[in-house]
């Protein structure tokens, strides 16, 4: 059993090293970071392979063969990051500086920290001679932040046999949520779908100097925008927000009341929970006439629409009509991706609950979903039996401290949480693969 203090020290050092590899995507340039991780895991006894869809941007597959007969657990992460503007930061974003008991730098939360904790947990177990019943896989992808074309998507399509697994731990949740005296760790088991659309109103062109000679399509957008400002589609229950509301001590059978009550206790929690409870409509881009003196015959607004896991266009349309009414507009979907999910009650959830019970016995574990995507979607799509969860436990920094730092300036992670997470991954490996 690797020593907690040792896990924390090693994860901290590994994260500092990882941050110093600039893997801002684009261009990503993940090669050197991946070779470094490969060497770490190979030294510990893993069989390692770098697989590249494009030169200089490999994915790492590391395998610790087992005694045979058990499941395959995959610890997954991505090593690329979004960009950082040093002018906005109080430290060099690629310094990996240790300051105020935190490691600072781009990727400190998303997600070189989790990669470091997973690699240290896996390497420490292997070095101690531990061997899994099935197999322990560590898969570190490239290109997550730009759509995974050269990363997880490519791996799951082109090398399915090498990345197939029964259980996966990836990014997506784990920061502690404090609410009404409760402590809750989220496990991300699902991701909402994306149904972005263009909403168009129609009129008749004319010279703008004589307002009533035409029929202004732009002013017809106003009530539609106002409707989306005033309300969202009615809330609906699904397994993930049901689990979360229950853990927060609220009655999930009446989501509207639950969100209202949550807002009284902590408005920030209501803001986060509400989008998990249904279709959301967020207008983001508008256009109408190309000339200031021409009354537009058409006006349009692009709407970022997110739909609960498993539901499709028909469901989105019902909810859109609920807010915008039946007529006076036309709609075209620009993107349609159905959201995905894994079941909630599984041996992996049991292992996570068991660990939380040991290290933070007053806390609860809740399933939750993400309004966006991670690499988990590619595994859930390619291997319908695979149970993929997002879990990087953090308790020094809560959800509301961590969230603005992800993709933001002064991204950092407390050293204590690095050891905490590495410890969780050791426990999960031992529970599922003993």
Active site residues: 80, 144
Q: Which stretch binds Zn ion (CB under 5 A): 16-24, 110-118, 180-188, 226-234?
A: 110-118
Residue closer to Zn ion (CB basis): 10 or 112: 112
Q: How far is the CB of 8 from Zn ion (least distance, A)?
A: 22
By the rule CB under 5 A, 175 interacts with Zn ion: no
Let me know: does 188 contact 341? Beta carbons within 8 Å. Answer: no
110: Cβ–Cβ under 8 A, 6 or more apart, which residues?
Answer: 81, 82, 171, 406, 407, 411
Residue closer to Zn ion (CB basis): 73 or 111: 111
CA angle 100, 188, 259 (to 5 degrees): 95
Q: How far is the CB of 78 from Zn ion (least distance, A)?
A: 6
Count of Cβ atoms closer than 10 Å to residue 253 Cβ: 10
Whole-number Å distance between alpha carbons of 19 and 32? 12
Residue closer to Zn ion (CB basis): 103 or 279: 103
Whole-number Å distance between alpha carbons of 257 and 277? 12
Q: Which residue is nearest to Zn ion (CB)?
A: 110
In sequence order, which ranges of 104-170 are alpha helices (DSSP H)? 112-127, 152-158, 160-163
Residue closer to Zn ion (CB basis): 111 or 363: 111
State which H helix or E strand residue 318 sits in. Answer: helix 313-324
Q: How far is the CB of 373 from Zn ion (least distance, A)?
A: 10
Q: Which stretch binds Zn ion (CB under 5 A): 111-119, 149-157, 314-322, 376-384?
A: 111-119
Whole-number Å distance between alpha carbons of 73 and 384? 15
Q: Which stretch binds Zn ion (CB under 5 A): 18-26, 57-65, 164-172, 214-222?
A: 164-172
Whole-number Å distance between alpha carbons of 236 and 48? 45
Tokens of residue 86, six digits: 């040093």
By the rule CB under 5 A, 111 interacts with Zn ion: yes
Let me know: does 408 contact 127? Beta carbons within 8 Å. Answer: no
Residue closer to Zn ion (CB basis): 25 or 238: 25
Residue closer to Zn ion (CB basis): 80 or 274: 80
DSSP code string of 153-195: HHHHHH-HHHH--SEEEESS--BEEEETTEEEEEEEEEE-EE-
Q: Which stretch binds Zn ion (CB under 5 A): 105-113, 172-180, 229-237, 265-273?
A: 105-113
Whole-number Å distance between alpha carbons of 141 and 151? 5
Q: How far is the CB of 111 from Zn ion (least distance, A)?
A: 4
Q: How far is the CB of 375 from Zn ion (least distance, A)?
A: 8
Residue closer to Zn ion (CB basis): 171 or 240: 171
By the rule CB under 5 A, 191 interacts with Zn ion: no
Residues pairing with 98 in the sheet: 103
Please give the radius of gyration of the chain, using alpha carbons only, rounded to the nearest integer: 24
By the rule CB under 5 A, 110 interacts with Zn ion: yes
Q: Which stretch binds Zn ion (CB under 5 A): 169-177, 189-197, 250-258, 364-372?
A: 169-177
By the rule CB under 5 A, 80 interacts with Zn ion: no
Q: How far is the CB of 172 from Zn ion (least distance, A)?
A: 8
Whole-number Å distance between alpha carbons of 371 and 309? 9
Q: How far is the CB of 75 from Zn ion (least distance, A)?
A: 15
- Size of residue set near Zn ion by CB under 5 A: 3
Q: How far is the CB of 82 from Zn ion (least distance, A)?
A: 9
Count of Cβ atoms closer than 10 Å to residue 314 Cβ: 8
Residue closer to Zn ion (CB basis): 30 or 242: 30
Let me know: does 60 contact 48? Beta carbons within 8 Å. Answer: yes
Count of Cβ atoms closer than 10 Å to residue 244 Cβ: 27
- Applying CB under 5 A, the residues found at the interface with Zn ion are 110-111, 171
């Amino acid at each position: 059993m690797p020593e907690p203090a040792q896990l924390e020290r090693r994860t901290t050092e590994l994260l500092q090293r990882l941050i110093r590899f600039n893997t801002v995507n684009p261009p990503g340039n993940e090669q050197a970071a991946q070779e470094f991780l490969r060497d770490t895991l190979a030294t510990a006894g893993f069989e390692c392979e770098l697989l590249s869809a494009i030169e200089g941007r490999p994915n790492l597959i590391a395998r610790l063969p087992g005694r045979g007969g058990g499941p395959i657990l995959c610890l997954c992460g991505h090593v690329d990051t979004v960009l950082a503007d040093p002018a906005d930061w109080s430290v060099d974003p690629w310094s990996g500086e240790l300051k105020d008991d935190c490691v600072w730098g781009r990727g400190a939360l998303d997600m070189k920290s989790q990669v470091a904790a997973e690699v240290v947990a896996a390497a420490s177990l292997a070095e101690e001679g531990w061997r899994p019943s099935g197999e322990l896989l560590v898969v570190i992808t490239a290109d997550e932040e730009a759509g995974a074309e050269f990363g997880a998507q490519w791996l799951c399509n082109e090398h399915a046999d090498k990345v197939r697994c029964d259980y996966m731990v990836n990014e997506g949740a784990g920061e502690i949520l404090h609410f009404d005296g409760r402590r809750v760790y989220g496990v991300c088991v699902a991701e909402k779908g994306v149904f972005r659309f263009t909403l168009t109103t129609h009129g008749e062109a004319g010279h703008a100097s004589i307002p009533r000679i035409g029929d202004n399509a732009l002013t017809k957008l106003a009530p539609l925008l106002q409707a989306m400002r005033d309300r969202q589609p009615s809330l609906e229950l699904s397994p993930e927000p049901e689990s979360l509301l229950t853990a927060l001590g609220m009655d999930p059978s009446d989501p509207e009341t639950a969100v209202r009550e949550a807002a009284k206790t902590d408005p920030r929690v209501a803001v986060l929970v509400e989008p998990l409870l249904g279709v959301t409509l967020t207008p983001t881009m508008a256009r109408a006439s190309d000339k200031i003196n021409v009354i537009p015959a058409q006006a349009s607004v692009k709407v970022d629409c997110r739909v609960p896991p498993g539901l499709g266009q028909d469901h989105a349309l019902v909810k859109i009509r609920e807010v915008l009414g039946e007529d006076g507009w036309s709609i075209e979907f620009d993107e349609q991706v159905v959201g995905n999910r894994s079941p909630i009650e599984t041996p992996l959830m049991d292992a996570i609950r068991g660990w939380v019970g040991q290290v933070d016995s007053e806390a609860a574990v809740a399933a939750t979903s993400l309004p966006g995507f991670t690499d988990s979607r590619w595994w859930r799509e390619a291997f319908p039996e695979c149970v993929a969860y997002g879990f990087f436990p953090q308790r020094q920094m809560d959800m509301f401290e961590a969230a603005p730092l992800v993709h933001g300036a002064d991204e950092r992670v407390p050293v204590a949480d690095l050891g905490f997470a590495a410890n969780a991954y050791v426990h999960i490996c031992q529970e599922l693969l003993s």
